Amino acid sequence: MARQNTLFKEAYNRYAARLKPDTELPSEPEIAAELGVSRSTARSILMRLNDAGIILWNKRQKTVLRLPTEDDFFPKEETDSLHDIIERSFMTRIMSDEAQPGMQINELELAREIGTGTSVVREFLIRFSRFGLIEKRPNSHWILKGFTSEFALELADVREMFELHSAAQFGRLPATHHAWEDLKAIEREHHALLKDFDAHYRDFSRLDEKFHLLIHRASNNRFIADFYDVIAIVFHYHYQWNKALARERNARAVSEHLDYIEALQSRDQQRISAACRQHLASARQTLLQSIPQGAGEVAGSAA
Amino acid sequence: MARQNTLFKEAYNRYAARLKPDTELPSEPEIAAELGVSRSTARSILMRLNDAGIILWNKRQKTVLRLPTEDDFFPKEETDSLHDIIERSFMTRIMSDEAQPGMQINELELAREIGTGTSVVREFLIRFSRFGLIEKRPNSHWILKGFTSEFALELADVREMFELHSAAQFGRLPATHHAWEDLKAIEREHHALLKDFDAHYRDFSRLDEKFHLLIHRASNNRFIADFYDVIAIVFHYHYQWNKALARERNARAVSEHLDYIEALQSRDQQRISAACRQHLASARQTLLQSIPQGAGEVAGSAA
DNA sequence: ATTTTGTTTTTTATCTACAATAAACATTTT
DNA sequence: AAAATGTTTATTGTAGATAAAAAACAAAAT
């Protein structure tokens, strides 16, 4: 098959879930905009809802007849985009113990294991290469550089440069800028998390990402924003993978965040810089401690 | 056809050009290593050299009979890799006046104009997107963000952060490190350039790239190294494109480079930082001055 | 006159096939 | 035995085909 209609299925599920009984649905362009898809896809969704007897569709009239049942939804396996499937599958492999730095990556083999064509895998690898974890030998294979301590150090260095810059910019934002409200909201979320920390400390990673993203946005720089994707993906899989001492780590990070937020709100560049450094230094520590031991010592590609 | 044998042709030309009359050629693996290709490709080259009567090849015996003539070489158009062709073609379009920021990029159209398949164009665009000049709308087209003043400013900001960091690292390199010799050599090249500046100032761009690359290498950071590709490509096409005032610009840059080199050699972090800032500030100026006027304002193309 | 729906066209995402190239294996030569 | 050559196999790079999705165009309804 040339292409899976996962977008349609995913959007269908999304829309079906939010239907309210005995209501009228808006116009096609409006539905499309709500779902973030084209009108063609929106129409396909309406058509299927109509066929399933969930709505009655006649030109402008679109009446919800009943709520969808479990059976009306597409199963979750069918709604993942190919790109997400490959990313998950690939990251799991990269973070596993079998993955040794210096290892070759075989496009065809990867494609077969994931159950997809080679071109998608290929395009994924090209996109993924900007994360610095793999490298291409032209006319030949990819090489896994691996999640090594060198990687973590290089990542942390750039992160520090960028975040110091962004945090300084943040401190210069005019008082009317909406980022200040966003920061307040994030501060409240931190306090809420602390209220019942034992029950909620696992939610910290989401909040962490949100906080740093807000800061990086202040830089208004596409290269910094793009680099934040690298950090986000590394931390995302890193959190999933290394759960030891999560409670202590997160507790420390929350308290550092609160200092950092306070410093930002003071708009005192000295304080901002100090709080930022403090937090990033301990984030660096955390990342380094989670590197699989022995990684980096294997096969330092000579060729 | 599935694939062009441009690698073979390019390597053939390269090898034919360095043949010396009445000599014996080394073993196949040795030739392959010299050319940076696989033994299969090296053998194809030998086979063709033999067929053309340029060498006599019998197992281990490979005697050069005559030097290749003009006709023996493949024409230059046939030795460019597809990737290079696409890059050139695409950069020319991007830098041209017709290219307005916000414009859509059509894969199929690009492929047709370049005379190639869509997959190569697609993969090129994915790779190219890290330069921050284009952006993808998922399930839809690419958008040209364009060579605007925002782009130049964002690029210059990151460049300054990275180069200050790298230059500081450079200053800490042990005296035995070969980078110091490389720096000396580059210093000499600058002086040589100055000797007959009017005749040679156009060679400066090559030297400029070499100099900054040397500095960035000291950072030993893959993200900084990767980012330098962005700078290099922008400056490469920028130099080609904006030749006005080249002499003055280059004269100024050479003198700044010499200060910068001296500062590095002093290993005094204060001096290094000052010289680096000085030079990057004027590089930023230069880049900004070369932005096509009106870029960034999508609608009206002023006369 | 603008918005909505109906219909058609264009473009992207993905798969498959195949030549070029690399890599592996087998045989010969030193 | 080690290195070189000869031969076969595996993998990448690229083109072309096709379904999904977006976009454009046309007709109808407010």
pLDDT tens-digit readout, B146-200: 889 999 999 999 999 999 999 999 999 999 999 999 999 999 999 999 999 888 8
Look at residue A294 in the predicted model and tell me its pLDDT: 56
For the residues A116-128, what does the mean pLDDT come to? Answer: 95
Instruction: Give every CB contact of residue A13 below 8 A, 6+ residues apart in sequence.
Output: A73, A74, A79
Of A123, A158, A162, the CB nearest to B221: A158
Phi-psi region of B119 (alpha: psi -120 to 50; beta: other; left: phi over 0): alpha
For the residues B91-105, what does the mean pLDDT come to? Answer: 88
pLDDT tens-digit readout, A41-56: 999 999 999 999 999 9
Nearest Cα neighbor of A277 from A195, A171, A159, A179 is A159
Is the model's pLDDT at B295 over the cut of 50?
no
Look at residue B294 in the predicted model and tell me its pLDDT: 56
Do the beta carbons of residue B91 and residue B110 sit within 8 Å? no
pLDDT tens-digit readout, A252-301: 999 999 999 999 999 999 999 999 999 999 999 988 988 876 544 443 33
For the residues B70-91, what does the mean pLDDT come to? Answer: 94
First vs last C-alpha separation in chain B = 46
Span CA (B104) to C1' (C6), Å: 27
CB contact under 8 A, B158 and A123: no
- Nucleotides, chain D, CB distance < 7 Å: 3-8, 11-24, 29-30
Is the model's pLDDT at B300 over the cut of 70?
no
Q: Which helix (H) or strand (E) holds B143?
A: strand B142-144
Optimal mutation site among A82, A129, A137, A157, interface B, most CBs of chain B within 10 A: A157
Q: Which two tokens stand for residue A267?
A: 């708009």
Q: Which two tokens stand for residue A104?
A: 């070759």
Look at residue B32 in the predicted model and tell me its pLDDT: 98
Of A139, A154, A165, the CB nearest to B161: A165
d(CA A279, CA A283): 6
What percentage of residues in chain A have a pLDDT greater than 70?
96
DSSP A185-211: HHHHHHHHHHHTHHHHGGGHHHHHHHH
d(CA B17, CA B171): 41
Q: Report CA dihedral (B64, B69, B73, B75) to the nearest 10 degrees.
A: 170
Q: Report CA dihedral (A224, B224, A122, B116) to the nearest 10 degrees.
A: 90
Bridge-partner residues for A105, per DSSP? A142
DSSP state of A101: T
Is the model's pLDDT at B290 over the cut of 60?
yes
Per DSSP, the three-state class of B127 is: helix
Q: Strand C and chain A: which residues 18-57 have CB closer than 7 Å?
A: 26-30, 39-40, 43
Look at residue A301 in the predicted model and tell me its pLDDT: 36
What percentage of residues in chain B have a pLDDT greater than 90?
80
Instruction: Give every CB contact of residue B240 below 8 A, 6+ residues apart in sequence.
Output: none
Q: Is the CB of B138 under 7 A from strand C?
A: yes
Name the interface residues of B facing A (CB cutoff 8 Å): 7, 37-38, 119, 122-123, 126-127, 130, 132, 139, 145, 151, 154-155, 157-158, 161-162, 165, 219-224, 226-227, 230
d(CA A254, CA A193): 9
Residues of A in contact with B154 (CB under 8 A): 220-223
Radius of gyration from C-alpha coordinates of chain A: 23
Q: Report CA dihedral (A294, A138, B30, B56) to the nearest 10 degrees.
A: 160
Nearest Cα neighbor of B168 from B206, B209, B221, B210 is B221
Nearest Cα neighbor of B164 from B1, B22, B273 is B273
For the residues A196-205, what does the mean pLDDT come to? Answer: 88
How does residue B2 score in pLDDT terms, banded at 50, 70 and 90?
Answer: confident
Do the beta carbons of residue A234 and residue B171 sit within 8 Å? no
Q: Is the CB of B43 under 7 A from strand C?
A: no
Look at residue B31 in the predicted model and tell me its pLDDT: 98
Of B122, B161, B226, the CB nearest to A161: B161
d(CA B149, CA B156): 10
Is the model's pLDDT at B298 over the cut of 50?
no
Q: Which two tokens stand for residue B104?
A: 């859509």
CB contact under 8 A, B158 and A221: yes
d(CA B291, CA B115): 30
Is the model's pLDDT at A166 over the cut of 60?
yes
